[in-house]
């Protein structure tokens, strides 16, 4: 082999090794991105669960408040429901 062929072979080998390192770096970067995406996804799911739980608690408190109000003032509650139903019936019952 002459010097030119040896230099080409060395350059080719160095390029092959550099490409292999680059491939490994990209594989590692992919793993890191996957882990990061999983972490972000897990955090988002946890926040959604917390928000859902808080909404459920608030809805339960609101239902308890309405129930308590109805129990304290049944006549006023019945009259209010009747008036609201009457108004909704008039609004949605119109024929055009």
- Read out DSSP for 22-74? HHHHHHHHHHHHHHHHHHHHHHHHHHHHHHHHHHHHHHHHHHHHHHHHHHH-H
Is the pLDDT assigned to residue 96 strictly greater than 70?
no
User: Which residue did the predictor score with more confidence, 35 or 2?
Assistant: 35
Alpha carbons 90 and 96: distance in angstroms, whole number: 13
pTM: 0.48
What the block records as the tokens of 74 is 């049944």
Q: Of 60, 57, 38, nearest to 49 (Cα)? A: 57
> What's the chain's average pLDDT?
88
pLDDT in tens, 27-60: 999 898 888 888 888 888 888 999 999 999 999 9
Is the pLDDT assigned to residue 87 strictly greater than 90?
yes
Extents of the domains making up the chain: 3-92
């Amino acid at each position: 082999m002459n010097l030119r062929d040896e230099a080409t072979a060395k350059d080719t080998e160095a390029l092959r090794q550099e490409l292999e390192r680059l491939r490994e770096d990209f594989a590692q970067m992919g793993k890191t991105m996957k882990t990061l995406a999983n972490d972000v996804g897990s955090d988002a799911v946890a926040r959604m669960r917390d928000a859902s739980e808080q909404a459920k608690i608030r809805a339960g408190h609101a239902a308890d408040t309405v129930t308590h109000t109805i129990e304290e003032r049944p006549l006023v509650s019945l009259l209010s429901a009747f008036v609201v139903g009457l108004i909704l019936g008039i609004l949605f019952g119109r024929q055009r």
